[in-house]
Amino acid sequence: MRFVLPKGRLLRGSLEILRKAGYNIDKPGERKLIGRFNGNEVLLARAFDVPVYVEHGVDVGIAGSDVLEERGSDVFVPLELPFGKCRLSLAMPAESVVPLEDMDGYRIATKYERIARSYFSKLGVEVEIIKLSGSVELAPKVGVADAIVDIVETGETLRANGLVEVEKIMDVSAQLLVNRISQKTKFDEINTLILAIKEVVGDGT
Ligand code: PRP
State whether residue 25 is helix, strand or coil: coil
From first to last of its 205 residues, what are the pLDDT tens digits of the chain? 999 999 999 999 999 999 999 998 877 676 677 888 888 899 999 999 999 999 999 999 999 999 999 999 999 999 999 999 999 999 999 999 999 999 999 999 999 999 999 999 999 999 999 999 999 999 999 999 999 999 999 999 999 999 999 999 999 999 999 999 999 999 999 999 999 999 999 865 5
**What CATH topology corresponds to 2-84+173-203?**
D-Maltodextrin-Binding Protein; domain 2 (3.40.190)
Q: How many Å lie between the centroid of ligand 1 and the Cα of residue 1?
A: 31
User: What's the gap in Å between 86 CA and the centre of ligand 1?
Assistant: 10
Q: Is 156 in the pocket of ligand 1 (CB under 6 A)?
A: yes
| Pairing state between β 40-45 and 34-37 | antiparallel
Answer yes or no: is the C-beta of 66 below 6 A from any ligand 1 atom. no
Measured CA to CA, the distance from residue 179 to residue 41 in angstroms comes to: 15
| Pair 169, 70: CB distance under 8 Å | no
Nearest CA to ligand 1 atom 5: 152
Domain ranges of the chain: 2-84+173-203, 86-171
* Cβ atoms of 105 and 165 closer than 8 Å: no
Candidates 50, 136, 150: which one to mutate for ligand 1, based on the most atoms within 8 Å of Cβ?
A: 150
Q: Does 86-171 match 2-84+173-203 at the fold level?
A: yes
Q: In 10 A of CB 146, how many CB atoms?
A: 20
The answer to whether the CB of 70 is under 6 A from ligand 1 is no
Atom from ligand 1 closest to the CA of residue 137: 8
Q: How much of the chain exceeds pLDDT 90, in percent?
A: 90
Percent of the chain with pLDDT over 70: 97
152 lines ligand 1 (CB under 6 A): yes
Say if ligand 1 is within 6 A of residue 135 CB: yes
Which DSSP state fits 154? S
What is the 87 CA–ligand 1 centroid distance (Å)? 11
Distance 166 CA to ligand 1 centre (A): 17
150 lines ligand 1 (CB under 6 A): yes
Query: Residue 39 — φ and ψ, nearest 5°?
Result: 80, 0
pLDDT given for residue 30 in this prediction: 64
CA 139/CA 59 separation, integer angstroms: 37
For residue 47, give the DSSP letter: G
DSSP-derived secondary structure letter, 104: T
Q: What pLDDT sits at residue 37?
A: 82
CATH number of 86-171: 3.40.190.10
Distance 58 CA to ligand 1 centre (A): 27
- Asked if residues 50 and 67 have their Cβ atoms less than 8 Å apart, the reply is yes
Per DSSP bridges, beta strands 163-172 and 76-80 are unpaired
